Amino acid sequence: MSTPARRGRPGYDLESLLQVAVKLFNERGYDGTSMEDLSRKLGITKSAIYHHVPSKEELLRLAVDRALNGLFAVAAETESFEGRAIEKLEHLVRGSVLVLVDQLPFVTLLLRVRGNTKVERAALARRREFDRLVTELVKQAEAEGDVRPDIDPAVTARLLYGMVNSLIEWYRPRRGSAGTELADAVCKIAFDGLRTQQGS
């Protein structure tokens, strides 16, 4: 019935194996998931898994790198823009929401990383780099007079991404809310507030 995969058991290539691993890590925690658990879940032997990846940590690295690469790709786009910092910031937020929606299990895993292993510490370092980049844009936009000057830019950046990152807690693809709609909602509230302009 099925075409045998080129390597490993039919039905599993590295990509599908990674998908299952990430789902399991999110359910049970990375520390709480063993290669034994993964092999049981996949219905293949551990050596079949090791045929694809050398370690559990390598699965984690592949997963968090996918999330981080998605976010940094948006950041790189943003930097190549001409224009005001607030427009760049809005592009970055919008793009980040789309990455979260698109790569939900991968970003969920990234945001729950606690830093117990080398891979986790590296991921946390890249997250801090991303945070700095957001804070820098907020500062620039404030200097250009487009962002309110009465809040510490680092606090603004964290609250902004607090809103974005909260998606992993409540967004479920089947709820029918498309990524672009959600990105619009986040940008409207974050940039213009939920109060109607005549309301206050």
Q: Which residue has the tokens 């919008």?
A: 94
Nearer Cβ to a copy of itself (49/89): 89
Q: How far is the CB of 50 from a copy of itself (least distance, A)?
A: 26
Q: How far is the CB of 163 from a copy of itself (least distance, A)?
A: 5
Q: How far is the CB of 43 from a copy of itself (least distance, A)?
A: 25
Q: How far is the CB of 143 from a copy of itself (least distance, A)?
A: 12
**What DSSP character marks residue 151?**
S
Query: What's the one-letter identity of residue 127?
Result: R
Cβ atoms of 18 and 52 closer than 8 Å:
no
Closest CA to 15 of 2, 5, 27: 5
Cβ atoms of 42 and 12 closer than 8 Å:
yes
For a copy of itself, the binding residues (CB under 8 A) are: 29, 31-32, 86, 138, 145-152, 155-156, 158-167, 169-170, 177, 182, 185-186, 188-196, 198-200
Nearer Cβ to a copy of itself (6/148): 148
What are the CA-CA distances from residue 34 to residues 2, 12, 31, 50, 187 (Å)? 29, 18, 8, 13, 40
Q: How far is the CB of 191 from a copy of itself (least distance, A)?
A: 5
Nearer Cβ to a copy of itself (6/195): 195
Query: What's the one-letter identity of residue 190?
Result: A
Nearer Cβ to a copy of itself (5/159): 159
Q: Which residue has the tokens 């990524």?
A: 179
Nearer Cβ to a copy of itself (7/28): 28
